[in-house]
Chain A
Amino acid sequence: MEAEAAKLIGAGLASIALVGAGVGIGTIFGNYLQGALRNPSAAPTQFANLLLGFALAEATGLFGLVVALIILFVF
């Protein structure tokens, strides 16, 4: 296989990391809504944790994107 083709395939494979980020963000918002509907009075106090969890989960997917970019542009 040509090295260029392998590079493109590798970059594509690295972007699969976004699946995990999608599952993680879905879980965080889903569970927050579930908790917020059960106990609406406690919901605003946990909003900061929700955003923190969202950012942390999103970042793991973006690490995969960084790997893809390194494969494409650095090597």
Chain B
Amino acid sequence: MIGAAYAEEAGHGGGHGGSANLPDPMHQFEIKRILPFELFGFDASFTNSALFMVIAACVITLFTLYAMRKGALVPTRLQSVAEVSYEFVANMVRDNVGTEGMKYFPFVFTLFMFVLVLNMLGMVPYSFTVTSHIIVTFALAAFIFIAVTLIGFWKHGVGFLKFFVPSGVPFVMLPLLVVIEVISYLTRPVSLSVRLFANMMAGHTMLKVFGAFVVALGLLGGWAALAFMVAFTGLEILVAFLQAYVFAILTCIYLNDALHMH
């Protein structure tokens, strides 16, 4: 929805804001059709967004398979990278959900690796950042939200509704607090998706704007902007990891709420 607006915006270049001689920072978010394809009247084309998701899935699968092909007791460098990422997510699930949460570990691990690799692929110059589109992150977050709600009802039955009634508050305050709790529960998928999308989009827009400054200032003045760019690229790589981490840990926290009710 918003992504389409960007593509349109990038199409007629500039438009709002930005002066005419600087490149449009939103152009990098444009979705291009690689294989145009129509299915029952819907546009189901294979786009650059789909291409990067396929690349991410292939990278994760091939990396884990290749790194663990020997499964040696004393790991090689590549194998220890795979082991560290496994241990990292396993500890995250164990600390936040407890041992009974470990049956959801494959899902959390897939989610973490998928978001992490998509964010990191986005940091490669001339590539496309899939997670900078709200529809992708919202689809992930909506899936998590629905799954967690179903797990809650499946585990506790109708008793899961007690989750919205905070304990130990005066009876008169309850109507207000229940409404607040329900609203805060319903905004979870929105905040989860917007956090990831906004971070990636804001970071990449800022990198593009400063990249344009480097070119515009030229050989004499561009060095200051270039130094800032180097520092900011480092920060962006940190943010790319951090947002994948936060996305996974919030999924764990939501799972914990559904399994243990506070």
Binding site for B on A (CB under 8 A): 7-8, 51-52, 54-56, 58-59, 62-63, 65-66, 69-70, 72-74
Contact = CB atoms under 8 A, between A and B. Distances in A.
Interface stretch (B2-10, B171-179, B220-228): B2-10
Contacts of A59: 191, 194-195, 198-199
Interface of B: 2, 5-6, 9, 16-17, 26, 191, 194-195, 197-199, 201-202, 242-243, 245-246, 249
17 contacts: A51-B245, A52-B246, A54-B242, A55-B199, A55-B245, A55-B246, A56-B246, A59-B195, A62-B198, A63-B198, A65-B198, A70-B2, A72-B16, A73-B6, A73-B16, A73-B26, A74-B5
Contacts of B9: 73
A72 B246 contact: no
Contact of A72 (B17, B197, B242): B17
**Which 4 A-B pairs rank lowest in CB-CB distance, beginning with the nearest?**
A62-B198, A59-B195, A55-B246, A73-B5
B242 A51 contact: yes
A74 B197 CA distance: 16
Contacts of A56: 195, 246
